[in-house]
Structure formats: C-alpha cells, structure tokens
Amino acid sequence: DQQVKQNSPSLSVQEGRISILNCDYTNSMFDYFLWYKKYPAEGPTFLISISSIKDKNEDGRFTVFLNKSAKHLSLHIVPSQPGDSAVYFCAASAQKAGNNRKLIWGLGTSLAVNP
Amino acid sequence: DGGITQSPKYLFRKEGQNVTLSCEQNLNHDAMYWYRQDPGQGLRLIYYSQIVNDFQKGDIAEGYSVSREKKESFPLTVTSAQKNPTAFYLCASSRRGGVVSNQPQHFGDGTRLSIL
C-alpha cells in the first residue's frame, strides 16, 4: 500500500517555464516532507523540505507547497532549466515510538526540461 | 570534502555467495541507512542505525545483515538467503534521526549489484 504517491511517472516542460511536480499521501500522521533529486547512477540529493506547521517553503527557484487538508504537496521549479532534468522523489516521515523516524518514499517523477 | 563513499560502484555475485557493500561517511553523522532501489520503484529501507553498535530492521531486511562498529562505517552484507539481490543499493546518513531534528539524509552514489 503506497502511502506516498507520485501519480505522474514523467513530466516534460520547456526551458524557462514552470515545472510542477505533485505528491499525495495517505497517512495523516506524516508531519515532515522532503523532495530529493536524482540523476542516473547517482544517489538522491536533498532539495527542499517542509514541516506540517507550514504551507509553503521557498529556496531559490524551488518552492514546496503543502495542503494538509488535501494531503497533497507540490514542488514548483521556476524557471525550469535543462540541468533540472532528473527524477524527483517525494518523501514523508512521521514520529514513531522511541523518537524514531523513517522516511517513506514515492516512486518518483522523471522531469525532462527541453531547451 | 565531506561526504558518503560507497564501494564498489559495480559488484557481481555468484549464486550462493555472500557479498559485502561498503559505506563510509566523514560527515560525523550519527544515523546511517541502507536502501534498495529496483527499476520503476521507490527506495525501500533495508536497515538503519541511529547510533554505534545499534541497528534496526527496515521494511525488507530478510537476506541482509549489517554491523555498526564505528560511527563512520555501516557495511551491508547481502547473504545467499537473499533470492533476488540484483538492485541498486544506496547508503545514506543524517544527523540524529530522532524527532528532535528533522535532518535530511545525504546519499552516496550507490552500488549496483548483479548476479552472475
């Protein structure tokens, strides 16, 4: 049962335009969300995160929006650049007993930014 | 230059053989993790360790073993009991994995394991 869902396996946008990557989750206990970017044959690189006490977090060209009532978050990249072409993973975590946290990962969305 | 080093980059295993994947970090992170990625799938947690000499099973621990004798090192052994070991293995580390600090995980570049 996929608790973190990225329903679009791929996305193609034109250079300079906005890229919007979406992520839905089912577990209402999730209170921390992250986006990672991954190039082929490399490990994921942390991009941006958001706590459930916020609904927006911005870092340069990257903005993450969180809609808790809809259990939905999105990553906006503006403007998109060819170097942004990669697989983007959404991940979420919740506090468990004993202060342990575990990341639950989506399946990823492959973004292609065309020159 | 701090980071996470996984070796080897490519590894081949014969049937019935155990192999060990290396993961070393010089970020002074307390927590370390092993994930497995299969084509078209997200990352699945194999084992994780919050502190030296302690580790916990993740979602798919069967057929794997780990040790955490040093803070910097978290080797993963893929045993012969793992019937489908072909995958891309990723090691990660973070500052304390507890609720106090939601620290992002930093990843190595992975090891691709294949069966001969």
Residue B57 near residue B85, CB atoms below 8 Å = no
- A103/B45 Cβ within 8 A: yes
Q: Is residue B91 a contact partner of residue B14, using CB atoms and an 8 Å limit?
A: no
Point out which residues pair with B93 in neighbouring strands.
B32, B106
* Identity of the residue in B6, B100, B104 whose CB atom sits nearest the CB atom of A49: B104
pLDDT per residue over B65-95, tens digit each?
A: 999 999 999 999 999 888 889 999 999 998 8
Question: Which residue of chain A is at minimal alpha-carbon distance from B47?
Answer: A102
What size, in residues, is chain B? 116
Residues from chain A that touch B97, judged by Cβ atoms under 8 A, are 100-101
Segment A20-46 shows an average pLDDT of: 93
Nearest Cα of chain B lies from the Cα of A14 at a distance, in angstroms, of 24
pLDDT of A87 reads: 95
Amino acid type, A38: K
DSSP E strands, B1-116: 4-7, 10-13, 19-25, 31-37, 43-51, 54-57, 64-66, 76-78, 87-94, 106-107, 111-115
On chain B, the residues whose CB falls within 8 A of the CB of A43 are 4, 6, 90-92, 107-110
Q: What is the pLDDT of residue B100?
A: 41
Per the model's pLDDT, the better-predicted residue between B1 and B38 turns out to be B38
Which pLDDT band, with edges at 50, 70 and 90, does A96 fall under? low
B99 pLDDT band, cuts 50/70/90, is very low
pLDDT, one tens digit per residue, over B27-72 is 999 999 999 999 877 889 999 998 899 999 998 999 999 999 999 9
